[in-house]
């Protein structure tokens, strides 16, 4: 399984893009830096987009990719919770902000909106996709993705602490997990549903206790303004666990 990190941050700038993960060039998870990272040809290779929650930094490129695919006369399946799909229909693809690509062209609309059910594995383009609720705004789900060779990743989405129940139903080889701000912003992190390096450390301890191992760990959704301080905190956590903890960056490729 090839995982490409197209967007790794919580803020966009010339050097950073909002979160977007691409699996084997055809399955995207979240649509932050999706279109700005892919050629028109590569956008046409997309088969499905899984959305974790309705915050703008995670859904923003759905209209943009829809326009490309509409112009290229192809289409893509979008999967998320009913709430997120409703937000897209009401606020983005509403015929005012952008065309209702879920209805045009009539014979085969560019976008198909598909509701997922938390804790229910669904086969999407040959991958087993398991949505698992995490601790963020409203209903936010992380996704465990497994391929035919049983290679498995879990992307938490934006999440705060309290993932014990989540760990019980997962067995990833690679964990891509939210760490947005440094330890000095712990109050902000818990109030907004994100992790700091120290909060991550507690979640990893729980994971190790429940599962008996630690997966490969990659951190995502970092605030670029505070990245230096966060990186220093992460070094300490990595040393304490005696395991490499990698920070995601735009263009990163991971093979499992
Ligand atoms: Zn969010
Ligand atoms: Zn976010």
User: Ligand 2 mean position to 107 CA, how many Å?
Assistant: 35
Give the Cα separation of 255 and 237 in Å (integer): 24
Q: In what order do the strands lie in the sheet with 152-155?
A: 122-124, 127-133, 141-146, 152-155, 174-178, 216-220, 245-247
| Ligand 2 centroid distance, CA of 3 (Å) | 19
Q: Which residues contact 207 (CB under 8 A, 6 or more apart)?
A: 163, 167, 175, 214, 215
Cβ-proximal residues to 239 (8 Å cutoff; 6+ apart), any chain: none
In our burial notation (b when 16+ CB lie closer than 10 A, e otherwise), range 138-155 reads ebbbbbbbbbeeebbbbb
The ranges of the chain with pLDDT < 50 are: none
User: Residue 78: what pLDDT?
Assistant: 98
Q: Report the length, in residues, of the chain.
A: 256
Ligand 2 centroid to residue 222 C-alpha, Å: 9
Q: Which residue has the tokens 């990186």?
A: 231
pLDDT at 16: 98
Structural tokens at position 44: 């046409």
26, 127 Cβ separation under 8 angstroms: no
Q: Please report the sign of the dihedral spanned by the C-alpha atoms of residue 51, residue 53, residue 54, residue 58.
A: negative
Gap from CA of 85 to ligand 2 centroid (Å): 17
Element spanning 204, H or E: helix 197-211
Q: Give me the pLDDT at residue 202, please.
A: 98
* Cis before 225? omega within 30: no
Indicate the pairing of strand 20-23 with strand 2-7: antiparallel
Helix (H) or strand (E) holding 143: strand 141-146
Rounded distance from Cα 52 to ligand 1 centre (Å): 9
d(CA 220, ligand 2 centre) in Å: 10
């Amino acid at each position: 399984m090839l995982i490409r990190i197209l967007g790794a941050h919580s803020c966009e700038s010339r050097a950073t893009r909002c979160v977007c993960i691409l699996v084997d060039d055809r399955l995207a998870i979240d649509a932050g830096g999706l279109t700005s990272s892919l050629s028109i040809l590569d956008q046409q290779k997309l088969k499905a987009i899984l959305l974790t929650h309705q915050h703008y930094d995670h859904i923003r490129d759905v209209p943009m990719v829809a326009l490309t695919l509409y112009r290229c006369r192809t289409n893509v399946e979008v999967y998320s919770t009913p709430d997120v799909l409703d937000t897209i229909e009401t606020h983005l693809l509403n015929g005012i902000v952008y065309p209702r690509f879920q209805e045009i062209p009539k014979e085969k609309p560019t976008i198909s909106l598909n509701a997922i059910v938390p804790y229910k594995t669904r086969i999407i383009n040959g991958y087993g996709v398991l949505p698992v609720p995490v601790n963020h705004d409203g209903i936010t789900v992380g996704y465990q993705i497994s391929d035919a060779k049983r290679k498995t990743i879990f992307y938490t989405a934006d999440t705060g602490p309290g993932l014990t129940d989540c760990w019980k139903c997962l067995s990833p080889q690679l964990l891509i997990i939210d760490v947005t701000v440094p330890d000095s912003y712990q109050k902000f992190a818990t109030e907004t549903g994100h992790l700091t390096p120290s909060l991550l450390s507690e979640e990893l301890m729980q994971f190790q206790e429940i599962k008996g191992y630690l997966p490969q760990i990659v951190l995502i959704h970092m605030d670029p303004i505070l990245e230096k301080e966060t990186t220093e905190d992460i070094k300490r956590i990595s040393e304490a666990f005696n395991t490499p903890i990698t920070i995601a960056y735009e263009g990163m490729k991971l093979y499992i």
